Amino acid sequence: MKEAKISRGPQVEIVDSPIPQPGHGQVVIKVVVSGSNPKDWKMSEFYPDAPPMNQGDDIAGTIYAVGQGVTGFRDGDRVAAFHEMMSPHGSYAEYALAWAHTTFFLPEKTSFEGESDVEKFAILGTSQLVLTISTTEGAAIPLAAMTAAIGLYAADRLALPQPWSPANKPTPLVVYGASSAVGSYVLQLAQRSNVHPLICVAGRAQDHVEKFIDRSKGDTIVDYRKGDDAVVQGIKDALKGAKLEYAYDAVSEKSSPKNLAQVLDATSGKVTSVLPPKGGDFSAKFDEFPQSVYQSMTMVGSVHEDIKDFGFVYFQYFTRGLQEGWFKPQPQEVVPGGLAGIQSALERLKDGTASAVKYVFRISETEGAGSGK
């Protein structure tokens, strides 16, 4: 099979590799679409001496093989999955490996890919219609959506009220980087938890953010392009004198820690960050915050380690949200060329070109794909 491996730069090399075999509790997925994430280029910057690696972690495709102990999945099932980061057999390949507890069904109305606004209608029974939307939805969800859920709800992160036990009082939450994939999922889940007001720091993609907030509950958008002082003042204005105890930093670099440090309550404030301080030490703390502010890292990889049950529950919850229509995948941009398009996409992620969009790749477009197993 064809597989893409990434090294510092980013530089991408497409190689021939054997199809992975599932271990106990694992599945092998034939990848239809792979999603990309900023971490895919950042990891090689954090660990420059590491060998080139398939950094893809967002999988959308069909079950190809199941390992021992796996129940609920069978060959051909339409699924999305979160590959275990920094391990072999990621989603930048024709076939990828995932743990069953981080694999979830894609409803019929959630597509892998499409070419028009309305791709097809599927008739269920005698009267029910399911609309298949023309987006590469499945590949947009796993890593970013789970990052959002962990940061919001895990006991040692922000520990906000779960969607099935929503908040019953005003609970201000700043979402820094609200138009990003992670930020967009934070907003949708926070809405289900009745967490308001949502104070969203965003830039040119404010129309996208607007879709996920409720102005009647005090939600608002603060434009970071107006400068740091304006961001801080905008957050304070939105709080209207209330105490800010929760912040989700989906940027975690440049000015976001400094600005949040000026608005979080110094005694009861909590902030969760998607990235570590400069240098890549995930155990380090941001110097901008006083020691009295509780800092945590989202650490999405923990669903493969110490919070497996959390990951299992929320991935199934995403399936339900897709079925019911309240959970919306981040908009997609298909980068031509399959695996050959990865390098240009990661370069755009690195230089900040992307805004309110997820770069994805149709694996079948890769030169030589499907030529052999």
CA 184 to CA 141: how far, in whole Å? Answer: 11
Q: CA neighbours within 13 Å on the CB side: how many for 123?
A: 3
Instruction: Identify the band that residue 131 occupies on the pLDDT scale cut at 50, 70 and 90.
Output: very low
Q: Model confidence over 50-99: pLDDT tens digits?
A: 899 999 999 999 999 999 999 999 999 999 999 999 999 999 999 999 99
Which residue spans within the chain are E strands per DSSP? 2-7, 11-16, 26-35, 58-66, 78-82, 95-99, 103-105, 118-124, 128-133, 173-176, 198-202, 220-223, 246-249, 270-273, 294-297, 332-334, 358-362
Nearest partner of 96 among 88, 86, 107, 106, judged by Cα: 88
How far from 165 is each of 52, 162, 195, 369, CA to CA, in Å? Answer: 44, 5, 11, 47
Band of residue 114 on the pLDDT scale cut at 50, 70, 90? very low
Average pLDDT over residues 303-312: 97
264-298 residue pLDDT tens? 999 999 999 999 998 778 889 999 999 999 999 99
pLDDT value of residue 135 = 35
Looking at residue 111, what is its pLDDT? 60
Query: What pLDDT score was predicted for residue 103?
Result: 97
3-state secondary structure of 336: coil
Give the model's confidence band at 129: pLDDT under 50 very low, under 70 low, under 90 confident, else very high.
very low
Query: In angstroms, rounded to a whole number, what is the distance separating the alpha carbons of residues 118 and 271?
Result: 40
More confident site: 219 or 129: 219
Query: Which structural domains are found in the chain, ordered by start?
Result: 2-141+329-365 (3.90.180.10), 146-302 (3.40.50.720)
For residue 357, what pLDDT is reported?
A: 80
In sign, the C-alpha dihedral spanning 339, 344, 348, 351 is positive
Instruction: Give 332-356 pLDDT, tens digit per residue.
Output: 899 999 999 999 999 999 988 777 7
For residue 108, what pLDDT band results from cuts at 50, 70 and 90?
A: confident
* Residues pairing with 174 in the sheet: 199, 247
pLDDT (0 to 100) of residue 132: 38
Name which of 178, 226, 234, 228 is nearest 205 in CA terms.
178
Put the strands of the sheet holding 198-202 in their side by side order.
Answer: 220-223, 198-202, 173-176, 246-249, 270-273, 294-297
Per-residue confidence band for 112, with pLDDT thresholds at 50, 70 and 90:
low
Tell me what pLDDT residue 252 has.
Answer: 94
Contacts of 292 (CB under 8 A, 6+ apart): 266, 267, 269
Report the C-alpha dihedral over residues 215, 218, 224, 229, rounded to 10 degrees: 150
Band (327; pLDDT cuts 50, 70, 90) = very high
Residue pair 143/300 in contact by the 8 Å Cβ criterion: yes
Query: What's the mean pLDDT when you consider all of the chain?
Result: 91
- pTM of the entire predicted model: 0.91
Dihedral (C-alpha) 170, 171, 177, 183: value to the nearest 10 degrees?
-90
Integer angstrom CA distances of residue 131 from 32, 119, 135, 337, 359: 20, 8, 12, 27, 23
Q: Using the 8-state DSSP alphabet, how is residue 328 labeled?
A: -
* pLDDT at res. 36: 95
Cβ-based neighbours of 362, under 8 Å, separated by 6 or more? 32, 33, 113, 136, 334, 338
**Backbone phi, psi, residue 294, to 5°:** -80, 120
- Rounded to whole angstroms, the Cα distance separating 3 from 19 reads 10
159 or 116, greater pLDDT: 159
Instruction: Check whether 171 has a pLDDT greater than 60.
Output: yes
What whole-number distance in Å separates Cα of residue 286 and Cα of residue 231?
A: 19
Long-range contacts of 151-156 (CB under 8 A, 24+ apart): 151/182, 151/186, 151/248, 151/272, 151/274, 151/296, 151/298, 152/186, 152/189, 152/190, 152/193, 152/195, 152/248, 152/272, 153/189, 153/310, 153/314, 154/302, 154/307, 154/310, 156/296
Query: Which contiguous run of DSSP H or E holds residue 229?
Result: helix 228-239
Q: Are 280 and 207 in contact (CB under 8 A)?
A: no
pLDDT at 45 over 70: yes
- Which amino acid, 306? D
